[in-house]
């Protein structure tokens, strides 16, 4: 079903006149360097196509013949058509130490021979094509390969192994690899010797692709594939080899691999990346959900950090108003992928309708609703949630599967992973800071965890709930009141009871609250009568609801979460009350 859905996506994009998806047999390829030659093939200079600075630096993309699959000891025999890395194009060995240089030189020489043979093959087929003949002329003169190594850009060009290079004729806007006579060579000279079989995607009898094209995935090796069978590796069935084990026609193979590479492309808005998992999504036809998902899950743009919040708000409002009802039955797909040696690992696969997934996303954001200060973000993207529970707010510091597991729980409308709660509590204690996002995470975690139980407890509200008699929640409220009393009594203090006692108070309340209540009496003595009475009544309103047998000796993780939420709710209410009084 995955391959069929990708095949259908390609057909949809190919039928769209505004789509830039590559035609069959072609691909958009970043080519950082071009060899500028004249019409006789004389080398003129190297040209750098990259733009931008730092991490934003990108090479220009060109529509060229799709890269060919090549693996094993004979991979040097397979050259791409009028573009490739510098080993093939210029016989330049990859960077290595002295011990490995002889082999690198030999590999580069063989690669170069294969590339030149491909150039000459097309030159024979198209004797009147001046562009192709110019490239052939470049290789007719050995001095060109020597002159190119004196170019100012040469050292930069060969600094990184695998750097792609192509040719450009002086005075032209396109590169030779884009020439129609070159791009029309996408198919082999003849398909009469190709094995024929029933394609498992289309159900039609057609020539079968022996090798599936490589998929470019962040963190993966070049040449990684979604479908692949190594020769004589023990996975062949009924004496079939390679692609015949899972027969996919050449036409369908080109379609699904192009579709997946397009979805995973750097410019794609149909993907988000979480830790080691790349997630792509698409619908059977254009939908608002397809346009908005990346803003809900991906990091915010540095140029417009509020864009994510704006898109999420607009999407949720569209759901509430019924604007998207016409799209509800449209099929929608989500595919989670991770690099794994030579073959790509499928982390998860979901298929449903726009209406189903949209309702799950709406529930996710509803669960995260919590009272916030004015300047805080209204809606939290998945990236915001994960960085809030990561050490130093860096995704790479998260447990490996957390990002993927949380993403799946949102799509499936299931409880969040326990790891999320654990990480959140760890960060709260380490940073001694309960942000609105962390409080929202814990609230949503608990509500989703118990929602489908036979006798679920009352759901935690988004703001202070005076009817919530849970002992951990009350302890959190009490701690917030004691902290506010201290901060009012000692303005500008270097630290509060939160810095010294939060960890113990939220885990073993009985060990610290007696001391904190005694300390509060000294602080209350510094207030005028009215303020002292106000805080004493507030303290008493919470203490009255605590168990007469005493404070809890130990709080479970769920109760530690309730403590944090109670603390956050009460703190926000106290500061809101103070602000309102100051305004009046």
What is the torsion angle, in degrees rounded to the nearest 10, for the CA atoms of residue 382, residue 383, residue 384 and residue 385?
A: 50
Band of pLDDT at residue 132, cut at 50, 70 and 90: very high
The arithmetic mean of pLDDT across residues 14-40, rounded, is 94
Whether residue 580 is predicted with pLDDT greater than 80 in this model: the reply is no
- pLDDT score for 321: 85
Collapsed DSSP state (helix, strand, coil) of residue 273: strand
Please tell me the least confidently modeled range out of 292-306, 448-462, 504-518: 292-306
- Mention every residue, 6+ apart, whose C-beta is less than 8 A from residue 496: 483, 486, 487
- Mention every residue, 6+ apart, whose C-beta is less than 8 A from residue 237: 245
Please tell me the least confidently modeled range out of 245-254, 313-322, 511-520: 313-322
The arithmetic mean of pLDDT across residues 270-277, rounded, is 89
The arithmetic mean of pLDDT across residues 144-154, rounded, is 95
- Mention every residue, 6+ apart, whose C-beta is less than 8 A from residue 298: 272, 273, 308, 381, 382, 383
- pLDDT score for 57: 85
Token reading at 237: 């069935």
- pLDDT score for 405: 95
Cα–Cα dist 194/341, whole Å = 29
- Residue pair 28/63 in contact (Cβ under 8 Å)? The answer is yes
Q: What percent of the chain lies above the pLDDT cut of 70?
A: 95
Band of pLDDT at residue 374, cut at 50, 70 and 90: low
Whether residue 229 is predicted with pLDDT greater than 60 in this model: the reply is yes
- pLDDT score for 220: 80
The arithmetic mean of pLDDT across residues 12-17, rounded, is 93
Q: Which residue has the tokens 């790479």?
A: 396
- pLDDT score for 49: 96
Q: Which residue has the tokens 């989670």?
A: 336
Token reading at 475: 């302890």
Long-range pairs, 515-523, Cβ under 8 A, ≥24: 516/479, 516/482, 517/482, 519/482, 519/486, 520/482, 520/485, 520/486, 522/489, 523/485, 523/486, 523/488, 523/489, 523/490
The arithmetic mean of pLDDT across residues 535-560, rounded, is 95
- Residue spans of the domains in the chain: they are 26-186, 188-263, 271-450, 471-583
Q: Which DSSP string do the residues of 134-145 spell out, in sequence order? A: HHHHHHH-THHH
The neighbouring-strand residues paired with 206 are 197
Q: Which residue has the tokens 């994009």?
A: 13
Mean pLDDT of the chain: 91
- pLDDT score for 70: 76
Cα–chain-centroid distance for residue 374?
Answer: 29
Whether residue 89 is predicted with pLDDT greater than 70 in this model: the reply is yes
Whether residue 189 is predicted with pLDDT greater than 50 in this model: the reply is no
Report helix, strand and coil shares of the chain as percent, to nearest 5: 50, 10, 40
Q: What percent of the chain lies above the pLDDT cut of 90?
A: 71
The helix (run of H) or strand (run of E) holding residue 331 is strand 331-338
Collapsed DSSP state (helix, strand, coil) of residue 449: helix
Whether residue 191 is predicted with pLDDT greater than 90 in this model: the reply is no
Token reading at 21: 């998806």
The arithmetic mean of pLDDT across residues 81-98, rounded, is 92
Condensed to tens digits (0 to 9), the pLDDT of residues 410-433 reads 999 999 999 999 999 999 999 999
The arithmetic mean of pLDDT across residues 157-172, rounded, is 94
Cα–Cα dist 285/12, whole Å = 7
- pLDDT score for 325: 83
Whether residue 583 is predicted with pLDDT greater than 60 in this model: the reply is no
CA gyration radius, the chain:
31
Band of pLDDT at residue 235, cut at 50, 70 and 90: low
| Alpha helices (H) along 191-249 | none
Please tell me the least confidently modeled range out of 43-52, 314-323, 451-460, 572-581: 572-581
Cα–Cα dist 13/22, whole Å = 9
- pLDDT score for 414: 97
The arithmetic mean of pLDDT across residues 158-168, rounded, is 93
Most confident among 120-129, 303-312, 453-462, 572-581 (mean pLDDT):
120-129
- pLDDT score for 190: 44
CA distances from 474 to 467, 481, 518 (A): 10, 11, 18
Please tell me the least confidently modeled range out of 70-79, 138-147, 361-370: 70-79
């Amino acid at each position: 079903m995955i391959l069929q859905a990708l095949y259908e996506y390609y057909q949809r994009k190919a039928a769209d006149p505004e789509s830039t998806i590559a035609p069959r047999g072609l691909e958009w390829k970043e080519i950082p360097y071009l060899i500028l030659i004249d019409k006789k093939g004389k080398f003129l200079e190297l040209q750098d196509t990259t733009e931008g600075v730092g991490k934003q630096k990108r090479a220009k993309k060109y529509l060229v013949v799709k890269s060919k699959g090549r693996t094993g000891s004979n991979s040097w025999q397979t050259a791409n058509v009028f573009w490739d890395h510098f080993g093939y194009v210029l016989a330049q060995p990859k960077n290595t130490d002295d011990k490995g240089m002889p082999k690198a030189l030999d590999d580069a020489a063989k690669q170069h021979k294969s590339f030149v043979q491909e150039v000459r093959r097309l030159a024979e087929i198209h004797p009147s094509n001046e562009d192709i003949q110019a490239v052939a002329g470049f290789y007719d003169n050995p001095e060109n390969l020597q002159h190119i190594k004196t170019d100012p850009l040469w050292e930069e060009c060969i600094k990184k192994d695998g750097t792609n290079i192509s040719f450009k004729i002086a005075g032209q806007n396109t590169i030779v690899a884009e020439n129609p006579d070159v791009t029309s060579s996408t198919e082999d000279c003849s398909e009469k010797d190709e094995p024929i079989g029933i394609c498992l995607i289309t159900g039609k009898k057609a020539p079968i692709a022996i090798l599936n094209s490589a998929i470019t995935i962040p963190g993966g090796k070049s040449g990684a594939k979604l479908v692949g069978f190594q020769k004589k590796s023990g996975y062949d069935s009924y004496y079939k080899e390679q692609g015949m084990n899972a027969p996919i026609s050449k036409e369908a193979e080109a379609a699904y691999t192009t579709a997946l590479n397009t979805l995973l492309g750097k410019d794609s808005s149909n993907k988000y990346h979480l830790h080691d998992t790349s997630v792509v999504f698409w619908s059977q036809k254009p939908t608002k959900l397809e346009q908005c998902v990346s803003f809900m899950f991906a990091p915010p743009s540095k140029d417009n950090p509020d864009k994510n919040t704006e898109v999420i708000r607009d999407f949720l409002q569209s759901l509430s108003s019924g604007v998207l009802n016409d799209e509800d039955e449209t099929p929608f797909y989500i595919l989670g992928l991770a690099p794994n040696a030579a073959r790509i690992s499928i982390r998860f696969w979901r298929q449903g309708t726009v209406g189903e997934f949209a309702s799950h996303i709406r529930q996710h954001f509803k669960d995260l609703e919590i009272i916030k200060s004015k300047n805080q973000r209204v809606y939290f993207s998945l990236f915001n949630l994960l960085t809030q529970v990561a050490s130093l707010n860096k995704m790479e510091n998260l447990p490996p599967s957390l990002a993927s597991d949380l993403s799946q729980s949102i799509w499936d409308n299931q409880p969040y992973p326990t790891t999320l709660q654990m990480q959140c509590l760890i960060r709260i204690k380490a940073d001694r800071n309960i942000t609105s996002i962390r409080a929202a995470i814990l609230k949503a975690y608990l509500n989703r965890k118990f929602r489908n139980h036979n006798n679920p407890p009352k759901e935690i509200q988004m703001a202070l709930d005076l009817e919530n008699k849970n002992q951990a929640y009350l302890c959190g409220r009490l701690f917030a009141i004691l902290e506010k009393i201290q901060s009012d009594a000692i303005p500008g203090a270097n630290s509060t009871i939160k810095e010294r006692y939060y960890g113990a108070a939220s885990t073993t309340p009985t060990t610290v609250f007696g001391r904190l209540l005694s300390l509060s009496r000294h602080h209350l003595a510094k207030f005028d009568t009215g303020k002292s009475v106000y805080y004493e009544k507030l303290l008493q309103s919470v203490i009255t609801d605590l168990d007469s047998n005493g404070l809890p000796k130990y709080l479970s993780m769920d109760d530690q979460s309730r403590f944090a939420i109670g603390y956050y709710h009460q703190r926000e209410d106290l500061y809101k009350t103070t602000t309102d009084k100051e305004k009046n």
